[in-house]
Structure 1
């Protein structure tokens, strides 16, 4: 079916299930659509195979369809890998295959990021390289070669720590979310598949795809990431392929410690090229200059990209939360509540509001740990006296219990660095808690707790963290001496990434309770809105005025008064209700803002859906 025909566009339902919403990208093999899965009520990406030449030979047509099916199976074989875009299904519709994939919200590919923000710092580029190498190695172990590693096929997306580019995903085993991004794809009868300027020389001259060839392409990709242009970039694709075979790459000027690694990856002789094991070791040394017993890929602070502290371009990640040292009081805020400073209660330790740059750096540092935010509390109890459950550094005299709200004072006022001193907030509200105990990870002994509990906490709190705008996980591990006092278990906290959470989280919230701050609003929450200054949590099974769909953020130059008038428009653009199955002729986008998000500099907004006429929504609506 020709591209652009009325039956192939927005509004078409594929296989009786997937409603096409809008086109995400287009390339040599077809289009990629954002689609709504009407059965599971979620968003997916659909790859459509398109044949632009009606006279295309039958055998070539069959070959392309077969290749799409085979490569979809290859990617599906890597299902669940943290650095590979997940393939959910391959289906046929009107005689052609469609590939159902994970939709990566808020993602930008590496090529576009470098074009928009400039070259990356060596350590950041090495971090991305480690993730991509991990994905490639997993494929190579299954006998699957990628064959088209390039910046346009590496997605960088927000992770759960608030880091805008913390999640690294390799796409396009023939099924990119943004296929080819305008670059020419070569598919010849000899099975030469790839992109000019990134193909290994042995592939250009007709050799078979091998792991070494993928590593050469990775070297070209990292070169472009750190230098801002490809090592064999020329005026034409033919000139680029010629340069790959007969010319040396351009000398590096910005790569620093990454330079020798790039040179070894770009060896023309595959036998002399860096192996995956050698590449992993070399990249790890750049990412982590000094040994760290807990985080192999912790980024060097001195090697951050020059734009690390800048708000990312739209579509933005879901950051947010309030600044440290404030508590919530309801007040008008356009379409949402404000958060104003109030005096601290007696005995409260002063908590310094961190700068946004410090928060971003903290987010990047957390990438290497499970969930991007789990640190250890392992201080030992000195001889004499009753052992404290989590050691002197944490300072609690009794074990944490489910639902306990805590205040966290971090060493040097740098959140998520080191071990915080914790205090309890019995009200879960009056002192603007930083977080709450949401689960426990049991262990047989203290050594097992240190080794396994942080990852267990990451898994136990993953679902909740995915529903909140700006939180991180934290494992409070018992000390050796306090293991029994801690009841042989690690407390799994969910903490605000950039400030307090201002109230109970998840199932600890009571229906009917008023929101003091947007930090506790979760995706799919249903709200009763008596006025534009008051929102209450209600059951989605009954009448409600709004439903939370997601989060966005406004630019760093947008003031809070401006946000009160601009946030609805931003939500309509970034979190459109139609993408969640809501009829745009009936529903419209709404929003809620909090002053705390402007005090912390994160500028996050909660995006909702409501009826255009202001009527009540019911439990059977999308």
Structure 2
């Protein structure tokens, strides 16, 4: 991992005040660290300037440093705005600037949110767009152009009510500029400033930064949010830039009410682009429909935009699969998960879960706990593993038919009930159950790479039969989970797939094909630190040779306090993520000499 200083890392104290705890993320400008302010006894985020090449020309180093100072100045000018990450200070340490920012606990950027959960409903995308537009407009009024609006620069975080993605924040003013003030434009030589696929066509051809250019980038971002891919996403950055300038965006198929907004924002000619005030009005109408909004009491799935419901055929078994003795049912698992919901309803809180209830409940309905569509005749209990078959084969659309897998292994389960929440009435269960399941499963989901939560709400006539409880089901987002989750796994059990590996798991490695879960208090061979993804063009065979290097780059052990002279990055791959198309890799730490590690380590 390149760094601004050879000694940069966990445990370092910046400016005699900020203790680096661990790295939160990074980009072209630098690394962002979680740090402890020793003077005020609180947590902050610190942005560190990074030079990938120590021999980088002095002029470009100066430009990069100047850009950091400009970022702090521009973001500080928007301090107090509800949709901009607050900048507290900019300081110099060992000759380089560090930016002290608000630490947004529980935040996930929109890019990662989409990778985990799939695209949300159009109304939820409109809500996000409205917040980002508000932040951009505030900057434009001060003459500040952001110039890099994209999913990775939008944070979703819990709000004061506890809604997990209720707060929307625009961050990273690292390449912003005030063109009307004569301010020096701190760009590096031979670098097109911005991100391919999100850059306005007039900027890609050398035009000046303008509010209209930021609006084009916002349009690309909203398109990506609702469609699951960028409008000009191509096989290379150069092809994406060419597409921005020369081609129309890919026709949206899921945008629904957002489609006219996207069309107006993505106009090639900036003079024909919809102005901010009109965009704001259009997004607000989607967020809060003016007709019959108060009468809508639950999600109308039939009103959602069309989704690609073509099931992915189950591939033949791979004889080289991780723990390949596991039998897999030939069931389709489409890659993109659908978030059903309407804004203002509890079903649309970020799309991390989906509430199930009898769609045909009411007088004369069934006494089955969760309705006839779900198909269970007995209530779910904590620890139950389930199989989920979705209508049309597309996960997280409609109501799945559930069946139990008593062994949690024989049928390759899709998920497990990890909690349940009680209610005084069926209406309370419907209104509060999903949000409470979201909260009860948040910690576990944070430790796993690719899961979602599903709240199985009792049917109107099945409330008593369900034991007056909503079952909180954690499902694989893009495929099965292959076994028990979290604390329900047994020490000594071999992993059937990497899907059940979680952060801070300790592994007894029998071979490069077999790892077993062991307690971290004793001796072990590797410890799971996190996850990364490999490209769509990387085969599983290639991944098994490239994944160590990817983990060393993306999840470096020294960021977690491990001595790089003693430890190195390791990795685990399995068949499941390649069958689902997610290409997820589990990143670990191990001793360089192959020796065992111990609890204190």
Q: Normalising to structure 1: TM-score of the pair?
A: 0.64
- Say whether 1:423 aligns with 2:403: yes
Tell me the equivalent position of 1:81: none
Secondary structure of the structure 1 residue equivalent to 2:478: coil
- Say whether 1:74 aligns with 2:80: yes
CA contact (8 A) 2:384 2:405 kept: yes
Change (3 A) 1:530 1:442: same
Distance 1:106 1:496 in 2: 20
- Say whether 1:574 aligns with 2:577: no
Task: Give runs of aligned pairs for residues 69-468 of structure 1, distance below 5 A.
Answer: 70-71=76-77, 73-74=79-80, 98-100=99-101, 130-135=127-132, 137=134, 148=144, 150=146, 152-156=148-152, 170-172=169-171, 176=173, 179-180=174-175, 184-186=177-179, 188=181, 219-222=215-218, 257-258=260-261, 262=265, 273-274=277-278, 276-282=280-286, 293-294=298-299, 300-301=305-306, 337-339=322-324, 342=327, 352-354=331-333, 358-360=334-336, 362-363=337-338, 369-379=348-358, 380=360, 387-468=367-448
Secondary structure of the structure 2 residue equivalent to 1:359: coil
Distance 2:578 2:420 in 1: 33
| Residue 31 (structure 2) aligned to one of 30, 33, 42 | 33
Tell me the equivalent position of 1:511: 491
After superposition, give the CA deviation of every residue in 1:142-161 in whole Å (9 maximum; x if it has no partner): 9997864645144338999x
Distance 2:153 2:265 in 1: 24
Distance 2:182 2:536 in 1: 51
CA contact (8 A) 2:22 2:559 kept: no
Using the TM superposition, give the Cα deviation of residue 135 of structure 1 relative to its aligned residue in structure 2, in angstroms: 4.8
Higher mean C-alpha displacement, 420-429 vs 292-301: 292-301
Distance 1:455 1:514 in 2: 34
Distance 2:307 2:408 in 1: 38
Distance 2:136 2:422 in 1: 34
Distance 2:570 2:136 in 1: 43
Using the TM superposition, give the Cα deviation of residue 491 of structure 1 relative to its aligned residue in structure 2, in angstroms: 0.5
CA contact (8 A) 1:472 1:495 kept: yes
Tell me: higher relative CO, structure 1 or 2? Use CA pairs within 8 A at least 6 residues apart.
1
Change (3 A) 1:480 1:21: closer
After superposition, give the CA deviation of every residue in 1:135-192 in whole Å (9 maximum; x if it has no partner): 555999x9997864645144338999xxxxx9996434xx53xx11xx64448499xx
Distance 1:33 1:567 in 2: 22
Change (3 A) 1:147 1:536: farther
**C-alpha RMSD of matched pairs (Å):** 5.7
CA contact (8 A) 1:132 1:169 kept: no
Distance 1:469 1:20 in 2: 19
CA contact (8 A) 1:554 1:605 kept: yes
Distance 2:214 2:181 in 1: 22
Using the TM superposition, give the Cα deviation of residue 16 of structure 1 relative to its aligned residue in structure 2, in angstroms: 4.8
Distance 1:257 1:579 in 2: 45
Secondary structure of the structure 2 residue equivalent to 1:461: helix
| Pairs aligned (count) | 508
Distance 1:448 1:124 in 2: 24
Distance 2:276 2:327 in 1: 65
CA contact (8 A) 1:132 1:170 kept: no
Secondary structure of the structure 1 residue equivalent to 2:373: helix
Distance 1:126 1:462 in 2: 24
Distance 2:217 2:101 in 1: 27
- Say whether 1:550 aligns with 2:530: yes
CA contact (8 A) 1:154 1:168 kept: no
CA contact (8 A) 1:442 1:449 kept: yes
CA contact (8 A) 1:36 1:43 kept: yes
Distance 1:16 1:582 in 2: 20
CA contact (8 A) 1:155 1:168 kept: no
- Say whether 1:46 aligns with 2:51: no
CA contact (8 A) 2:4 2:48 kept: no
CA contact (8 A) 1:325 1:353 kept: no
CA contact (8 A) 1:440 1:490 kept: yes
Using the TM superposition, give the Cα deviation of residue 408 of structure 1 relative to its aligned residue in structure 2, in angstroms: 1.1
Tell me the equivalent position of 2:473: 493
Distance 1:589 1:218 in 2: 39
Secondary structure of the structure 2 residue equivalent to 1:74: coil
Distance 1:300 1:123 in 2: 11
Distance 2:353 2:485 in 1: 18
After superposition, give the CA deviation of every residue in 1:236-258 in whole Å (9 maximum; x if it has no partner): xxxxxxxxxxxxxx9x9659623
Tell me the equivalent position of 2:583: 603
Distance 1:561 1:48 in 2: 36
After superposition, give the CA deviation of every residue in 1:485-533 in whole Å (9 maximum; x if it has no partner): 1111210100011221111101111223221211100011111213323
After superposition, give the CA deviation of every residue in 1:541-565 in whole Å (9 maximum; x if it has no partner): 3222111111223333333333222
Tell me the equivalent position of 1:18: 20
CA contact (8 A) 2:507 2:516 kept: yes
Distance 1:296 1:133 in 2: 23
Using the TM superposition, give the Cα deviation of residue 89 of structure 1 relative to its aligned residue in structure 2, in angstroms: 6.6
Task: Give runs of aligned pairs for residues 584-595 of structure 1, distance below 5 A.
Answer: 584-595=564-575
Tell me the equivalent position of 1:533: 513
Change (3 A) 1:426 1:17: same
Higher mean C-alpha displacement, 63-72 vs 411-420: 63-72
